[in-house]
Amino acid sequence: MQRGIWFILVTVVLVGLSIWVNLTVKPRLGLDVDGGIRFTILADKSKLSPADRTGETWNRKALQTVGILEGRAAQSLGVAEASVYRKGDDRFVVELPGLTDEEEARKVITTSAQLQYYWASNVATDLDPARPYEHSDATIDTPNGPQDVDRFKRRGQSNDEYLKLGTPEYDRMFDRWKLITKGENLRSAEPDLAPNGRYNIKLSFKPEGEDALSEFARSHVNRREWLVAVIDREVVSFSHIKEGVTSFKGGAVLEGRFTPTEAKRLSGLLTAGALPVDLKEQNVTKIAPSIGRQALSQMLVAGFISFGVIAAFLLVYYMFPGFVALLALLAYISLSFAVFKWIGVTFSLAAIAGFILSVGMAVDANILIFERLKEELRTGRTLMTAIDLGFKRAFPAILDSNACTVITSLVLINIGTGPVKGFATTLMIGVFISLFTAVTVTRTLLLFFVSSGIGKNPNLYGTGRGWFGERLEANADKNPLHIVKNMARYFIISFLIIVPGLIFMGMGGLKLNFEFLGGIESGVRLPKGTPATSSAVSAMIEKAGFKGANAKIGDAEEGSDRPVAYITIPPRDNPEVERYFELSKTARPGTSNDLATLRKQLGAKIVSAVGGDPTPIEKVAADGTKELSGIKDEVSFESAGPAVRAETIRGAVIGVIVSSVLIVLYLAIRFGVALGGFAVGLRFGLSAIIAMLHDVVVILGLSAIMGYFRNWEVSQLTITAMLTVIGFSVHDTIVIFDRIRENLRRPLAGESFDHLVDRSITQSFARSLNTSGTVIVTLAILVFIGSATPDLKHFSAAMLIGIVSGTYSSIFNAAPILVLWERWVGKRKGAGATIIHDKKLREPGPVIRDETVWTPDDDGAPAKGQYSQTKRRKKR
């Protein structure tokens, strides 16, 4: 009692701290909630030495790259909540929530930012005007005010024939310049207001840089030679050394030509440091914040409704224990949300859906405990004994089922992108916290209340409520459900469930999104009057010349009545899309005007095809060219090149295989330890996975049917749903298998394995329905209320159908498959090799009671049909 009070006090303190964190720490919102830009970029290791491309040396460079990109996002782009992480060996993902200027972000993220000082030895000076190239200053107007730029031309050409960065003539001029010092010798850079109202950038060099610049100054004193500051072959400062200057010990200054925006960007880049490797853009995602706000609003409404339904179910069906569980669930929500904020979890829409789903799943452990508690009370146990036994006998199933969810979550974290990682992280952390709140907090509170005289009346425990099959348990020994006897019927039903999906797969209904196909996906506001159907929009896109396009229709943005169409266009048979990816692979870092131009043309063409407004939102760059920062009726743009496509496909296949293998191994070990060896446990594990494959095929069938009628596409979120269902399907199967494991310890006299399995299913029937029911209700609410985009709706619907299928397969497929396996073993090796006849299971030594489960007021012996916890006594 005393220990329980202290534990409650500790829990109250933890919950209080979590409430404080939740009130004071701002959540980190994902791109699909807050809007923003995501780049996936590839490290070009071709210029590195062989020793630098692999092993610990490359890992250090990769870690350095992540740090530099984080610094650039914060210092040059002002995105304090940027997320940068390594994906695979040579890819990096940069997420910039809240940022809308795609081209500005591209300049900052993909440039190497290697500041170098050159002597422009082939550019004419006052003392040597016969050199082949000439320099001139120009001032252009930009949205941020007048901007000074440097221009070059061949001597004798007209002033409007200046050289452009990236052209062969520009490269010929540049390649003759003499390098003086590299950016690795730069110590710091900071903007400084100049007398002319513009900004200087003050540079501080390491001794090596100061010495190199000073040596150049001394050898060219008073000769007015050009000293050029260059970043990625682009001139940022072109000036001669002042008369009499022979030393750079005080640093250098890029003088008064920068706007505040340019000065901030450039000094931020230089301060963050030069990248140790060149980066190539592989894909980009741009999402307008209006889509995320609408989706978040819908999802929060769905979350509150699902919580209300769960709370009502706990209170009505489980009464007083339900009230205690509700207190623990509130603690779970507060603790989980605080932990997510504390460790910096990014709340994407998928992550929020995962959190809402975890609330539904957190109730599962309580349901298993309370059903076991009610079972003990019905057999005449005293209340304290029933509570103690209920928790202890439910714990193995809770542990094993949650372990399978953790396995699939770890796989998702390793193969997924930002949204998928967020979903898996919230789900996995939720599992660990729910184990604490559902098992430990609920148990402590329940024992505390009962010991205090509150809730001592057994009528408050809902023993008479058998609305979902609990009454079947009373007759489970003599009259169980005949699942095994009728297994052929249930296998046929499973086949009939699968067949429609297979038919639609054959009809081409299984559509892949741009991540699997490669290509682009553009979200476009549909004009009023445009038919808001997938087929109509697809036809308009095809008419515009895009082959193999697919359109999905999503909800309108917040404050708008215009639905959004999400249009996928593959590279195949679409030269403009192919060209886009070719340019993204070959564009020189920091110089992507051709890529931006094609991006603008592609976006405008797609928007125009559906009758939207294709007006580009542009800004004037430093060299006078216009750069795209958006298209008026485009709300999102995503692309995935060939490498991303290959990685996505590989990740999906590996994810399903690895999850399945790990779950089989885990179950084989867990059941093998209890039931006579790894080989026996393997039968349980493989039976669970074979039944689970039924659920995977059902999800793919749903995707094919909805793909055929609604153009839904298989995306990474679909694979996420599939892997989650793998974990949950096995979760429900474990509830039944755990009861089989327990009944095998004490079979009825003369009981066959078929009867034991039927009895176990019957005893677990109600808890299987109840545990699945809370998750099914949560997902149904998410499907119909909380899914603003087609991919999110597909994600929630796939999990909903998958878990319904998983509940069916756990009851009607998994255990019968185990029976068939046992029959095969019996025919092949004899009856003695089957589990039911394995004498080693029950006769390694005398079975003794585990006294820790009994209390002084116990009746001293298990009731009929009930079994005490057992342990084996070692033979001496």
List the single range of 286-290, 411-415, 500-504 with lowest mean pLDDT: 286-290
- Distance, in Å, from the CA atom of 822 to the CA atom of 809, rounded to the nearest integer, reads 18
User: What is the rounded average pLDDT of the residues 188-209?
Assistant: 82
- Answer for the pair 243, 222: CB distance below 8 angstroms, yes or no: yes
- CA–CA gap between residue 387 and residue 448 (Å, rounded): 11
Does pLDDT of 192 surpass 50? Answer: yes
Instruction: Tell me what the mean pLDDT of segment 555-575 comes to.
Output: 83
Note the pLDDT tens digit of each residue in 241-252. Answer: 777 777 777 778
- H or E stretch at 655: helix 642-675
Residue 417: pLDDT over 50: yes
pLDDT surpasses 80 at 682: yes
Q: What is the mean pLDDT of residues 126-149?
A: 76
Of 591, 320, 600, 284, the C-alpha closest to 454 is 320
**pLDDT of 378:** 79
| pLDDT at res. 629 | 64
Task: Supply the pLDDT for residue 47.
Answer: 79
pLDDT surpasses 90 at 451: no
Q: Which residues pair with 807 in a beta bridge?
A: none
Output the pLDDT for position 838: 58
Token output for 118: 């050159």
| Percent of the chain with pLDDT strictly greater than 70 | 88
Element (H, E) at 563: strand 563-569
Query: Averaged over 257-269, what is the pLDDT?
Result: 77
- pLDDT level of residue 554 (50, 70, 90 thresholds): confident
Q: What is the pLDDT of residue 247?
A: 77
pLDDT for 305 beyond 60: yes
pLDDT confidence of residue 839: 54
- DSSP annotation of 507: T
How far is residue 103's CA from residue 872's CA, in Å, rounded to a whole number?
69
Q: Residue 469: what pLDDT?
A: 63
Q: What is the mean pLDDT of the chain?
A: 80
pLDDT of residue 1 exceeding 60: no
Q: Quick check: 863 pLDDT over 50?
A: no
Which phi-psi region, left, alpha or beta, contains residue 191 (left: φ > 0; alpha: ψ -120 to 50)? Answer: beta
pLDDT, tens digit (0-9, with 9 covering 90-100), for 750-798: 888 899 999 999 988 877 788 788 888 888 988 888 777 788 888 889 8
Largest CA distance in the chain: 112
Q: Which of 40-44, 185-189, 194-198 has the lowest mean pLDDT?
A: 194-198
pLDDT above 50: residue 602? yes
Confidence category of residue 256, pLDDT binned at 50, 70, 90: low
Q: How many CB atoms lie within 10 A of CB 323?
A: 17
Q: Which residues contact 285 (CB under 8 A, 6 or more apart)?
A: 31, 37, 38, 636, 637, 638, 639
Edge to edge, the sheet with strand 115-119 lists 178-181, 115-119, 226-231, 234-240
Q: Of the candidates 346, 532, 513, 326, which has an alpha carbon nearest to the alpha carbon of residue 429? A: 346
Q: What is the pLDDT of residues 335-351, one digit of tens each?
A: 998 998 888 777 877 77
pLDDT band at 444 (very low <50, low <70, confident <90, very high): confident
pLDDT band at 16 (very low <50, low <70, confident <90, very high): very high
Q: What is the mean pLDDT of residues 616-620?
A: 66
Percent helix, strand and coil across the chain, each rounded to 5?
A: 60, 15, 25
pLDDT in tens, 814-858: 999 999 988 898 888 877 777 776 555 544 433 333 333 333 334
Q: CA-to-CA distance for 568 and 549, rounded, in angstroms? A: 6
pLDDT of amino acid 146: 65
At residue 594 the predicted structure's pLDDT band, cuts being 50, 70 and 90, is low
Question: What is the C-alpha R_g of the chain?
Answer: 33
Residue in 559, 566, 21 with CA at minimum distance from that of residue 297: 559
pLDDT of residue 704: 93
**Cβ atoms 409, 727 nearer than 8 A:** yes
Tokens of 704: 């094919």
Cα 324 from Cα 438, distance rounded (Å): 10
pLDDT value, residue 495: 93
